């Protein structure tokens, strides 16, 4: 793909390899920009979408959000940073390299 990536993906895996919890984090995060439509259903913003890639929850951010709503874009990037989540430029295959959970003693 030539030119700059048009999307940023926050991957629901911490830098340590652990799956991020709670399991509905992506939907909650995208809910901050959702609206109820005329059909009385929640509609996600065209700038922010939850997806599942390789079985891992992710949030796709349209780069235009950085210009149209810099405060929200900054909030999303801070969320990823504060929670030590992986951030990638553009959508591409996400390899599942999740560390197994430690067993309780």
Q: What confidence score (pLDDT) does residue 2 get?
A: 40
Domain assignment of residue 21, yes or no: yes
As a whole number of angstroms, the distance between CA 45 and CA 1 comes to 25
Residue 30 token pair: 């995208």
**What is the CATH number for 43?**
3.30.70.2340
User: pLDDT tens across 40-71, in order?
Assistant: 988 999 999 999 998 999 999 999 999 999 99
Domain assignment of residue 80, yes or no: yes
Is the bond into 70 cis (omega within 30 degrees of 0)?
Answer: no
Q: Contact at 8 Å (CB) between 94 and 10?
A: no
Q: What confidence score (pLDDT) does residue 95 get?
A: 54
Domain assignment of residue 60, yes or no: yes
Domain assignment of residue 31, yes or no: yes
Q: What confidence score (pLDDT) does residue 30 get?
A: 95
Domain assignment of residue 103, yes or no: no
The total of structural domains in the chain comes to: 1
- pTM of the full predicted structure? 0.79
Q: What confidence score (pLDDT) does residue 42 get?
A: 86
């Amino acid at each position: 793909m030539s030119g700059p990536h048009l999307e940023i993906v926050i991957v629901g895996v911490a830098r340590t390899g652990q799956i991020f919890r709670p399991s509905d984090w992506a939907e909650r995060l995208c809910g901050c920009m959702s609206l109820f439509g005329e059909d009385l259903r929640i509609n996600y913003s065209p700038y922010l979408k939850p997806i599942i890639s390789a079985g891992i929850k992710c949030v796709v951010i349209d780069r235009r959000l950085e210009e149209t709503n810099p405060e929200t874009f900054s909030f999303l990037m801070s969320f990823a940073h504060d929670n030590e989540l992986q951030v990638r430029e553009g959508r591409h295959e996400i390899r599942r390299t999740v560390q197994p959970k430690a067993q309780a003693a």
